[in-house]
Amino acid sequence: MDLRAVTTMCHTYLTRIHGISALLTLSTLAACGGQSGPAQQTAALPAGITYESHLAAGGNVPPGAALANPKSGNSAAAKAGEQMFSAMNCDGCHGGGGSGWVGPSLADGRWRYGGSDAEIFSSIYYGRPKGMPAFGGTVGIDGVWSLVTYLKSLPIPADVSTEAWDTD
Ligand code: HEC
């Protein structure tokens, strides 16, 4: 670990927030006294995104992380996910086979929040605002990947009963 880099970072950060809050300054000092974060090990990851509402310590925006499904195409994981889909009552909202009920269909190839493995992971792990509970704390990372693998294994019907709003 390069201590000079950490010292510079702390100095820059403290300079930036000087005068905003003494409490924040104290907690920042405590944080700077500890170990450095993972930023040093993430040089190979994609660039991060700056959010106006977030203050990045030292101006160091955390890099983006690429979520890859470790169970992609694994039929045993898809089977486990299918069982979990029923056991966790996903089908109580999304219907049997994810065909749609009070929750949207998960089997028609159309996605409100994106249909990549990573996007479906986020939908299940963190939940979504209009009624989708977060299941990450209940089934864990491994369980969510099994659910993603199951949903991705569902065949998309040639004809679905409703039309997409966005026809691009
Ligand atoms: C209490 C009802 C309910 C339960 C239980 C539930 N969902 Fe949902 N789910 C919803 C609703 C409603 C939405 C739409 C949320 C929105 O539009 O913001 C949704 C959205 C989703 C999405 C995003 C769909 C898209 O089009 O992008 C996925 C994926 C999903 N749910 C998977 C699951 C899985 C897997 C489970 C079980 C672990 C589950 N849901 C349990 C109600 C539920």
Range(s) within the chain of domains with CATH label 1.10.760.10: 75-153
Q: Which CATH number fits domain 75-153: 1.10.1200.10, 1.10.10.2520, 1.10.760.10, 1.10.10.10?
A: 1.10.760.10
Measured in Å, residue 59 CA sits from the centre of ligand 1 at: 36
Query: 38 in ligand 1 pocket by Cβ < 6 Å?
Result: no
Angle at which helices 3-17 and 22-33 cross, to 10° = 180
Out of 128, 149, 162, mutate this one to test ligand 1's pocket (max ligand atoms within 8 Å of CB): namely: 128
Measured in Å, residue 4 CA sits from the centre of ligand 1 at: 47
pLDDT in tens, 79-124: 999 999 999 999 999 999 999 999 999 999 999 999 999 999 999 9
What is the model's pTM? Answer: 0.71
- Burial string for 105-140 (b: 16+ CB within 10 Å, else e) reads bbbbebeeeeeebeebbbbbbeeeeeebeebbeebe
- Examine the pLDDT at 9 and tell me if it is beyond 50: no
Query: 107 in ligand 1 pocket by Cβ < 6 Å?
Result: no
Query: 37 in ligand 1 pocket by Cβ < 6 Å?
Result: no
pLDDT in tens, 20-74: 444 444 444 344 444 444 444 555 666 776 777 778 888 888 777 788 999 999 9
Contact 103, 131 (CB under 8 A): yes
